[in-house]
Amino acid sequence: MAALVAAAQKEGTLNLIAVPRTWAGYGAIIDAFTAKYKIKINSENPGGSSGDEINALKSTKGQASAPDVLDVGNSYALSGSHEGDFAPYKVATWADIPDAQKDAGGLWYSDYGGYVSIGCNAAKVGGTCPKTIKELDNPKYKGLVALNGDPTSANAAFEAVWAAALANGGSADNIQPGIDFFKKLNSEGIFNKTKVTPATVQSGATPIVMDWDYLNVGNAAALKKAGVNWTTVDPADGLVSGYYAQAVSINAAHPAVARLWEEFLYSQDANAGQNGWLRGAARPIELVAMQKAGTADKAALAAVPQVTDANPFNPTQAQVTAAKALVTQKWAAAVS
């Protein structure tokens, strides 16, 4: 670690991409890393998607602005590793990351996750917020139901479509009912195509949002200060959990800093990444090990939405690939 810190501080800069400060506690994590190591952080395209990250990695090879690390949906982590986009690296806490949530060779490793949820501003929807995905199909929600991005490139939106599929008879092998559900919402004028941001939530432009529960819960804390009562529910009719994953770019402009950043993110220290994500209402990938060791922030853990998930949704890579292909093929026409 001493040699890694010295090499990283000599490089002096970390290039991040598509990492909003409001996402899963990232703002505090970034500030803590900078304070500890005195390394400058360039944060490009914070509102970008997983697809944008992969495209940037490929297009900036050899440039000083090239992303050093990626934080992408697991489906993009799998495809990126197959395409040779990542450099192998195993963090010190490697053994605390479940085998099913990492590449055996260290090309990628899950970092934090959550469930697709429904966030709602009761004051903007007539006082009654939906508790299930099927309840979204209601004329009183006309123009109110939005997604966090485009499901053809944004992982959060893609998983929301899959949640809608499960709520309407779909499965890991069949995401079509989710596409059909949003096609119906669109034809009825219920689907709101505004790209969700903290600003659209606060302004009331997107009163109902299907997004990761940790983002909806995180919005609630900030919105409360602005006088907005934002509620979050994990819908029982479409329980879909998902993780994002870290990877070191094969084209990293600052390879030592990239690896030091990963060590910080996977550290279980009180002010490092794993507890930082937990304080952002996400479920850090090392949470089980942290609970056993007594290193998890107990107050933060109590704020994470509790879910009884007897049958976790765990599609195979082949099922994910097929679902992504179908959504890419049919989404635009469905909501045109």
324 alpha-carbon distance from chain centroid = 16
pLDDT at 310: 67
Beta 241-249 vs 69-73: how paired, if at all? antiparallel
Dihedral angle of Cα 250, 252, 257, 260, to the nearest 10 degrees: -20
pLDDT score, position 316 = 83
In this prediction the pTM is: 0.84
pLDDT at 47: 87
Structural domains present in the chain: 2-112+242-303 (3.40.190.10), 114-241+312-334 (3.40.190.10)
Model confidence over 34-81: pLDDT tens digits?
999 999 999 999 988 888 999 999 999 999 999 999 999 888 898 899
Show the low-confidence residues of the chain (pLDDT under 50). none
Q: Rounded to an integer, what distance in angstroms lies between the CA atom of residue 65 and that of residue 13?
A: 10
Q: Which DSSP string corresponds to 276-306?
A: HHHHTT-EETTHHHHHHHT-S-HHHHHHSPP
Q: What is the dihedral of CA 29, 31, 35, 39, to 10 degrees?
A: 90
Q: Are strands 208-212 and 283-284 parallel, antiparallel or unpaired?
A: unpaired
| pLDDT value of residue 7 | 98
DSSP string, 99-118: GGGB-TTSS-EEEEEEEEEE
